[in-house]
Structure 1
Amino acid sequence: MKLIDYVLADKQEEMLHFIEQLVNIDSGSHVKSGIDTIGLILKGHFEDIGFVVETIEQEEYGNHLIIQHNEAVNPKIIIVAHMDTVFPKGTVAKRPFRIEGDRAYGPGVVDMKSSLVELLYAMKYMKEVGNEGYKNVQIILNSDEEIGSPTSRSLIMERAKGKEFALIMEPARKDGSLVSARRGGGHYTLIVKGKAAHAGIEPEKGRSAIEELAHKVIQLHHLSDHEKGISVNVGMIEGGSAYNTVSSKAVAHIDIRIAQMDQAQTLLEKMKEICSFTSVPGTKIKLTGEIGRPPMEKTEQTKSLLDIIRKVGEEIGIKVSDTSTGGGSDASFTAATGVATVDGLGPVGGNAHSDEEYLEIPTLTERTLLLAKTIQKLSE
């Protein structure tokens, strides 16, 4: 039976109004003005309850925020959440925040504007009940998670050093599960150069970059081993100048996923081997790229942190389960520093990154309570 917390019982409507305000601001990763507006709104709310907010200015993307209470001394918990979404400017005008039954909809409603509100209200809750766990956290709100955290990765990893626990505010899975493991991933680009020729008059003088690329796509896809959590996917290809011309250039964009970091080197060596020769004489190949996010592996430290969260869940009537997922998040960066990391501490929802993204409204205050009491337990 779920615990009814009377401090949070009447906060749901208030929290939903705040979520509506945030959702109705376009804040795609490339909409700097919208992200910075959200940052200023959150900055004001955190300062109102005694937190100090440091703004890390960014030229191209939105600014990052580092937040901790003015009485905090060497906090041991790092909490990471992001302010950006995947949706372009103008999305809000087409489909603003709305509520249907027990679900709220809108761009970024669960990934992760509801998490931003949950996080703020967890701090408010601890202050109101007189628990000083809020002094044991350092919060990073970044602006570029949805595009791989290019400007915030180093910030997150630097701030994670010396911490004991990392709580990542991605939404819980549809069944309420937390995330204990994530596959790492990277983006590689394969460029093939050939020689153009007229396909009707003198095709024999051409060297088709597209033909060579076709060989490589098949070979690369054969590197996937889904049972081991390894996948190689050529998701985009481009090339050629006209249908009646032998193509002089073709490009493939490759997504790779790995479950364990020690798989990375072996996979890269195999990719390089494939690209070390050509099947079409006279063509040339160049492979570039990197693994942008290391895998988040389920370590013994992670299991111990999960056990604590499960016990907190039992106390308040929430059954806590965990799962692994192929999608990436900033949890990979905190985990890579050796800090015990658990992700998915936001409210429950689904269909993220789509027109039907939704939040399960009843989980909003429940997950706020779970987060607050987890911080309290970790701070004892």
Structure 2
Amino acid sequence: MEYFTENLESMLELLETLVNIDSGSKYKEGVDKVGKILSGEYRELGFSVDVRENAEHGNNLVIKHKNAQEPKILLIAHMDTVFPAGTAAARPFTVKEDLAYGPGVADMKASQVTLLYAMKYLLETENEALKNVVIILNSDEEIGSPTSRGLIEQMSETVDYALVMEPARKDGSIVSSRRGGGRYTVTVQGKAAHSGVAPEEGISAIEELAHKTIKLNRLSDHQKGISVSVGIVEGGDAVNMIPDRAVGYVDVRVESEEQSVEISRKIEEICSVPDLEGTTIELKGGINRPPMELNEKNQQLLSLVQRVGNTLGLKVKNTHTGGGSDASFPSYLGVATIDGMGPIGGKLHNEGEYLEVNSMPERGSLLAQTISAIHEKDSK
């Protein structure tokens, strides 16, 4: 880990620059600013950067070594955060003792820096693995990857391995499986009426949505890893009116593809028939991230990462998490995939988000040596 330890100060300088740029998923200007900085860094190393333009969200980047022909190792790291514009100015990058703070410091701007320096290490050591790597830096992971999912799936068709740079868990574990998930919108149309003058003429859209909310929430089976939750409801224009419109926003999490199919069927069934005569229901959405299951390919890659960790004196644990990430896409397409390859962090997505600074050399070493080990295995 000597290389990464010696370069930790410069890694932190770049991290400070990135953290102090607002790059919320819907703030294109900020995401693209991060992308331009990282593009410049990679181009200085002799990498090509293919900018995939987006009109609304930030641009996605496809990066690979100039001599890469048919790379088989895909690395994925997102540039966006969950924080709105102005957060970086209000809560800029700081380091206190061994922890760094700031919006997106762990999820995943430290991962961006670690990935870049892993490439620098491989370049300086003239490691042939560089020619076997393709990198996607995407702009919209935090909102479900609407523009980058297709790009990730396209690249997944030509690779055999995927390493995803979400931060390691608080105990240092990498992520070997994730729940899948999706979002639905349930829109109910009723009939408006004055609640004092002619309430009998009205048909309450909120009442109908209440029936649907209860039925949908009852689909949850937490022991099996199934969660269905109506998290936001909207409806009504005035307290003295029978509401003619109501909207419910539904979050769904599942452990397996079989559960995904079954829950989708049940949600459609519930919303196909109104409980309150005279109302109509429109259902939109679906499962937008398949589950990442610990299948045989993923298990083999996990074992390789753990063996690499052992050579570095690191005991690499693995864990399952309910949150979604881009790792689901290559895994679902049959690519051996492991997530959580970034540095260690915690309290993600809130003002207490932190990074364990001293984990950057460890995780940089683990990433670089894992890439090298995969390449050696792939070359045999």
TM range (shorter): over 0.9
The yes-or-no answer on 1:297 pairing with 2:293 is yes
- Provide the rounded CA distance (Å) in 1 between the counterparts of 2:211 and 2:26: 35
The yes-or-no answer on 1:218 pairing with 2:214 is yes
| Partner AA of 1:75 in structure 2 | P
2:315 to 303, 308, 319: 319
Match of 2:324 in 1: 328
Match of 1:266 in 2: 262
Asked if 1 retains the 8 angstrom alpha-carbon contact of 2:192 and 2:243, the reply is yes
Which shifted more, 31-40 or 21-30? Answer: 31-40
Match of 2:157 in 1: 161
| Partner AA of 1:139 in structure 2 | I
SS of residue paired to 1:366: helix
Deviation at 1:200, TM superposition (A): 1.6
Deviation at 1:270, TM superposition (A): 1.3
| Partner AA of 2:249 in structure 1 | H
The yes-or-no answer on 1:99 pairing with 2:100 is no
Q: What aligned pairs does 1:157-236 form with structure 2 within 5 A after superposition?
A: 157-236=153-232
Deviation at 1:341, TM superposition (A): 0.3
Q: What aligned pairs does 1:239-278 form with structure 2 within 5 A after superposition?
A: 239-278=235-274
2:48 to 45, 48, 52: 52
| Root mean square deviation, CA, Å | 1.0
Deviation at 1:279, TM superposition (A): 2.3
Count of residue pairs brought into register by the alignment? 376
The yes-or-no answer on 1:111 pairing with 2:90 is no
- Provide the rounded CA distance (Å) in 2 between the counterparts of 1:352 and 1:375: 26
SS of residue paired to 1:250: strand
Which shifted more, 142-151 or 125-134? Answer: 125-134
SS of residue paired to 1:190: strand
Match of 1:86 in 2: 82
The yes-or-no answer on 1:366 pairing with 2:362 is yes
TM-score normalised according to structure 2 size:
0.97
The yes-or-no answer on 1:8 pairing with 2:4 is yes
- Provide the rounded CA distance (Å) in 2 between the counterparts of 1:358 and 1:245: 48
2:58 to 55, 62, 77: 62
Match of 2:351 in 1: 355
Deviation at 1:9, TM superposition (A): 2.3
SS of residue paired to 1:7: helix
| Partner AA of 1:61 in structure 2 | H
Match of 2:126 in 1: 130
- Provide the rounded CA distance (Å) in 1 between the counterparts of 2:112 and 2:10: 14
Percent identity over the alignment is 55
2:342 to 337, 346, 352: 346
SS of residue paired to 1:58: coil
Which shifted more, 53-62 or 101-110? Answer: 53-62
Deviation at 1:289, TM superposition (A): 1.0
1:306 to 299, 302, 308: 302
TM-score normalised according to structure 1 size:
0.97
Deviation at 1:135, TM superposition (A): 1.5
| Partner AA of 1:174 in structure 2 | K
Asked if 1 retains the 8 angstrom alpha-carbon contact of 2:264 and 2:287, the reply is no
Deviation at 1:375, TM superposition (A): 0.5
Deviation at 1:22, TM superposition (A): 0.4
The yes-or-no answer on 1:280 pairing with 2:276 is yes
Deviation at 1:56, TM superposition (A): 0.8
Q: Which runs of 5+ in 2 are unaligned?
A: none
| Partner AA of 2:193 in structure 1 | A
Q: Which runs of 5+ in 1 are unaligned?
A: none
Q: What does the per-residue CA deviation read over 1:273-329, in whole Å, with 9 as the maximum and x for residues that have no partner?
A: 222322222222121112111111111000000100000000101111111111111
